[in-house]
């Protein structure tokens, strides 16, 4: 099996998503509140997995723009769950040594008086292992 | 009626109001919130990876603690509610996750999703009943025009959270009516506030919250209510915001006449 195919299968395994169910209606991207900030849009994300181009996905800025708001999951008529694919690609990155997107050293300057603990807990879960 | 209660990390610290007013209101409404012993943080976000087990265990412990007391489990924070319900759904319906989580837990009897998880608003709707709540209101918030801000975590994915219609919810509007105020329905009430993005990308969250507050104010709201400390934080960062954002438990306590009496 080629390395590319292996990576795509890993994404499918971690996410539990079958990207072939996608009928490319674009409703996920139309619903996405981060659409303008994403270089690879949610509906394209699905196609990249089908085309086994995981390399592009793990280098995509979209990984850090997805809010996990589940609008795409809720509205997908084929139950593809694009947010889960994005999460799987994010996990591929942060599970590598040196792949964390957030380091504890950054925290002091990001803090303010009102910042809730929930935000720190959530961001560490999403951005680091 | 006694429920197991999972406050979560932020309700102990930055969101003490959300917690205190919930407890005071529960007492006034005749039910008890019994805090689970030694609970641990839910993590704030549900671990989406199907191979993530350890990150789900804090919820499994809380869920199992409620099961052992034969109580339903109540949360007030939107995020805790979200993570707890989704992990419970995994334990009930995803055999692989259930087996592997129980291997870690080593319980006398495996946990298989037996506990019923309720958000405080669901307790008001399904256990107390909004009609009963209305009868217990001593300070109706007459004339107040209140916009409910749902955000994402209470509603989606609708099939798992089973909280309300994810596209056209009404539980918070019914709550607002029950305490004598007037709900304002505005288009952005179930749009995302930006969530955890506000830690590193503050501008992105601010832009999203600007749209939400503009939408609510444009439809005539003079106050927004939320159940989520992170939504509140993000909404308060909206630079164009003019109306206050308060926890739903605060106006509940006010309506029940227990706002000054801390739990």
B261 falls within a domain: no
Query: A64 vs B200: CB contact, 8 Å cut-off?
Result: yes
User: In this complex, which of B10, B48, B191 lies closest to A33 when CB atoms are compared?
Assistant: B191
Nearest to A28 by CA among A61, A74, A68, A62: A74
Q: Tally the C-alpha atoms within 13 A of residue A20's C-alpha that lie toward its C-beta.
A: 3
Are residues B135 and B114 part of one domain? no
Q: How many angstroms separate the Cα of B155 from the Cα of each of B159, B192, B210?
A: 9, 11, 21
Query: How far is Cα B14 from Cα A70, in angstroms, rounded to an integer?
Result: 26
Helix (H) or strand (E) holding B84: helix B78-93
Hey, of A119, A120, A126, A129, which one would you mutate to test binding to chain B, going by the most B CBs within 10 A of its CB?
Answer: A119
What integer pLDDT is reported at residue B1 of this predicted model? 93
Inside any domain, residue B263: no
Whether the predicted pLDDT of A90 surpasses 50: yes
- Indicate if the pLDDT at residue B102 is higher than 90: yes
Assess if residue B262 is contained within a domain. Answer: no
Mark whether B136 and B63 lie in a shared domain.
no
pLDDT (tens digit, 9 = 90+) per residue, B25-60? 999 999 999 999 999 999 999 999 999 999 999 999
Give residue B260's pLDDT. Answer: 86
Find the closest chain B residue to A111 by CA distance.
B199
Say how many domains are in chain B: 2
- Find, in chain A, the residue whose alpha carbon is nearest to that of B8: A118
Alpha helices in A32-129 (DSSP H): 42-50, 54-58, 71-75, 82-94, 107-110, 117-127
Q: Please answer yes or no on whether A68 and B201 come within 8 Å at the CB atom.
A: no
- Residue B65 reports pLDDT greater than 80: yes
Q: Which two structure tokens, joined as six digits, stand for B165?
A: 């219609």
| CA A89 – CA A53 distance, rounded (Å) | 11
pLDDT tens column, B114-147 = 999 999 999 999 999 999 999 999 999 999 999 9
At a CB cut-off of 8 Å and minimum separation 6, what does B30 contact?
A: B1, B128
B41 and B62 inside one domain: yes
Q: Pick from B55, B90, B120: which residue ends a domain?
A: B120
Taking the CA of residue A125 and the nearest CA in chain B, the distance in Å comes to 7
Say what the ipTM of the complex is.
Answer: 0.96
Q: What is the pLDDT of residue B203?
A: 95
Domain match, B60 and B84 both: yes
> What backbone torsions phi and psi does residue A4 show, to the nearest 5 degrees?
-65, -45
Last residue of a domain, one of B120, B151, B174: B120
Cβ within 8 Å, pair A15-B48 = yes
Give the Cα-Cα-Cα angle A93, A96, A99 (nearest 5 degrees).
Answer: 60
The dihedral through the CA atoms of A29, B193, B159, A95 has a sign that is: positive
φ, ψ (nearest 5 deg) of residue B237: -85, -10
Nearest chain A CA: its distance from B60 CA (Å):
17
**Measured distance CA(B44)–CA(B89) in Å, rounded:** 17
Average pLDDT of chain A, as a whole number: 97
CATH of domain A3-96: 1.10.1060.10
Q: Domain range spanning residue B32?
A: 2-120
Encode pLDDT of B141-197 as tens digits.
999 999 999 999 999 999 999 999 999 999 999 999 999 999 999 999 999 999 999
This prediction has a pTM of 0.97
Domain boundaries, chain A: 3-96, 102-129
Q: Is residue B244 part of a domain?
A: yes
What angle, 0 to 180 degrees and rounded to 10, lies between the N-to-C axes of helices A42-50 and A82-94? 70
């Amino acid at each position: 099996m080629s390395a590319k195919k292996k990576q795509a299968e890993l994404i499918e395994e971690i996410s539990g998503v079958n990207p072939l169910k996608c009928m490319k209606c674009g409703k996920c991207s139309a619903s996405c509140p981060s659409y303008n900030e994403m270089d690879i849009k949610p509906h394209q994300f699905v196609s990249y997995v089908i085309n086994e181009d995981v390399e592009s996905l793990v280098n995509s800025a979209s990984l850090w723009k997805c809010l996990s708001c589940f609008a795409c999951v809720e509205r997908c008529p084929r139950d593809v769950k694009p947010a889960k694919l994005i999460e799987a690609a994010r996990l591929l990155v942060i599970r590598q040594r040196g792949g964390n997107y957030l380091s504890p050293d950054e925290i002091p300057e990001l803090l303010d008086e009102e910042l809730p603990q929930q935000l720190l807990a959530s961001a560490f879960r999403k951005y680091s292992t | 009626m006694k429920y197991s209660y999972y406050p979560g990390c932020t309700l102990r610290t930055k969101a003490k109001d959300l917690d205190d007013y919930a407890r005071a209101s529960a007492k006034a409404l005749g039910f008890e919130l019994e805090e689970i012993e030694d609970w641990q943080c839910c993590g704030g976000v549900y671990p989406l990876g199907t191979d993530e087990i350890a990150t789900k265990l804090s919820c499994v412990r809380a869920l199992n603690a409620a099961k052992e007391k034969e109580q339903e489990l109540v949360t007030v924070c939107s995020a805790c509610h979200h993570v707890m319900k989704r992990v419970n759904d995994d334990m009930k319906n995803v055999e692989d996750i259930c087996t592997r989580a129980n291997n870690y837990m080593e319980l006398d009897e495996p946990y298989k999703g037996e506990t019923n998880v309720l958000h405080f608003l669901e307790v008001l709707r399904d256990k107390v009943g909004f009609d009963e709540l209305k009868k217990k209101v001593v300070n109706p918030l007459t004339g107040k025009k209140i916009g409910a801000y749902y955000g994402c975590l209470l509603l989606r994915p609708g099939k798992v959270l089973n909280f309300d219609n994810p596209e056209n919810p009404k539980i918070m509007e019914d709550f607002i009516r029950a305490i004598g105020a007037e709900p304002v329905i505005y288009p952005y009430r179930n749009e995302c506030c930006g969530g955890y993005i506000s830690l590193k990308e503050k501008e992105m969250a601010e832009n999203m919250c600007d749209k939400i507050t503009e939408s609510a104010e444009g439809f005539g709201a003079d106050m927004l209510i939320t159940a989520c400390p992170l939504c509140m934080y993000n909404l308060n960062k909206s630079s164009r915001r003019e109306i206050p954002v308060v926890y739903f438990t605060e106006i509940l306590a006010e309506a029940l006449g227990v706002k000054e009496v801390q739990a």
